[in-house]
Structure 1
């Protein structure tokens, strides 16, 4: 083969291999959200709406997945670069040999509410202790954060896992339908579904995890929840992008702290509240206290989460978990320099 021909073939090969990598470099950072219209995950869409991703020079694509456990699977598979979901997944995944870390924390508390149907409440379902006797409790998905928390609340109330059953019913309309059809007698969900069901009279509050005081009472401490988490290896190899993402979300948390529920509601898509914007604003007002002011991990929070998970997950034990690898404020610090 002549030298000229070898040179031409080499050039062609370089071009054919370079194209995909050039496309990958230009591809958006895909973040999957565990139910994008949930108020606990509001910072994701709000950051986009405020233009903070673009301000940071980021090309971010938000996708929605109703159950957090499915979103984490997409992250592990490499189909997405980040997940907006509950921090507790980082601990659970570490027990399975996967290193995931939260780089921005949105909520100091779960923002979840265990609702009981009005029908079940009238029949004597007044507390988690009444889940005994084969009651069916709704969760977004098996292995999801609502699964973790429901099991813990039942266990703390003295109810063994064999005395009730869990049913994955998703969130929003599917959750509402499951409760109205009596497929679940109680279930864990978030705003604005909570306010919607209370307004219609279809449900009552059994356990409220929207405030710091109620969360400490129910779980024994703050429970950092909604956050942005990524694979540790991705953050290490994309430090600039990780820092810019952290900065963008930190700006959003400050915006939430300095604006009213009415002002924030103006920034979200109309389908988030439909024909009842007043109800959405009401739900948002009830939720604002749960958000962090700076996207940083609240002190002591990871230990509470570890305690909850260790109660019933054999692989999750203090001796097996390195909490320092499940979250970091480092990218927030880098972003503010």
Structure 2
């Protein structure tokens, strides 16, 4: 009996050990399998569409890469995962690279998807009817952002402060994106908020919201921010890119090809490559939202000239740590990986 019990204990120990191996962290699994894990700040947002499209088109496989895409509702959460080393890359807003450098962290964008934020400040129909007509009317209001510390917070604060409304005179509420954003506005927990396509088109179609500030186009972005504001991009830790030059170059090239595909195909053709759950029962609305968004994308994944300077100006306007820091913009992005062999 003793021998049987000993054998059983050994078997159980082996099973437990196997279970521990299976429960290894995603980062450990990624390291073991050479999988590159990329966290996306809301994978079904049209501004981040290139991530899923690159996968659907097989461009990662063409480069010999194994890529796992994960999703977080707010870019700031994805950023935290990157700093912790749990993921190798993030599809999020370029402005995080500048904000993080001011905090002593070196992050660089190695492929840029959008020349402009693609963000829209919507005001609820109820609040608009009550006189909320511009960001100057934000006093006493609650404004929705995806998350505190997110790019939507950066941009919202800048737009409100630019109108002379003090930060103590309005509130910010993290409401995420998509359905949670829509619910927040319908329930009047927020009177206005910043979001992207396809949520913008959904709310305009139902009449639940109106546009206050439109940063889906170059013209609208220049009017709001004073220049191009490169936004959605793939960013990685500088030290990871330096020690994984081949993988970084393959990722950049895959996204460069994706941006070329977007610039040479129609919204209908692109939508056909996306998962059906991205547009649900209203593919027509999704295509319309995508069509309205196509001008915001870069054609080659490269950083638009003058863009980093605009982002630095916006962040410096209300973030003391960025204003006081010596920001080296050359360390916040690189076009070199796009052409590396």
The aligned residue for residue 154 of structure 1 is 160
The aligned residue for residue 313 of structure 1 is 319
The aligned residue for residue 5 of structure 1 is none
> Would the aligned equivalents of 1:306 and 1:318 in 2 still touch at CA under 8 Å?
no
**Where in structure 2 are the equivalents of 1:49-88 lying within 5 Å?**
49-88=56-95
The aligned residue for residue 46 of structure 2 is 39
State which of 304, 309, 312 in structure 2 corresponds to 1:303: 309
The aligned residue for residue 15 of structure 1 is none
Q: CA deviation at 1:24?
A: 2.6
The aligned residue for residue 167 of structure 1 is 173
C-alpha RMSD of matched pairs (Å): 1.3
After superposition, the C-alpha distances for 1:179-225 in whole angstroms (9 at most, x for unaligned) are 00000000000000000000000000000000001100100000000
State which of 101, 105, 108 in structure 2 corresponds to 1:101: 108
**What is the SS of the residue equivalent to 1:320?**
coil
How many residue pairs get aligned? The number is 315
Q: CA deviation at 1:317?
A: 2.1
2:239 equivalent to 1:267: no
Aligned equivalents of 1:319, 1:111: Cα separation in 2: 28
The aligned residue for residue 17 of structure 1 is none
**Where in structure 2 are the equivalents of 1:225-236 lying within 5 Å?**
225-236=231-242
Aligned equivalents of 2:111, 2:203: Cα separation in 1: 31
> Would the aligned equivalents of 2:75 and 2:150 in 1 still touch at CA under 8 Å?
yes
**Where in structure 2 are the equivalents of 1:202-221 lying within 5 Å?**
202-221=208-227
Where does the alignment leave 5 or more consecutive residues of structure 1 unmatched? 1-19
Q: CA deviation at 1:25?
A: 4.4
TM-score (norm. length: structure 2): 0.91
TM-score (norm. length: structure 1): 0.92
**What is the SS of the residue equivalent to 1:29?**
strand
**What is the SS of the residue equivalent to 1:282?**
helix
The aligned residue for residue 24 of structure 1 is 31
2:125 equivalent to 1:125: no
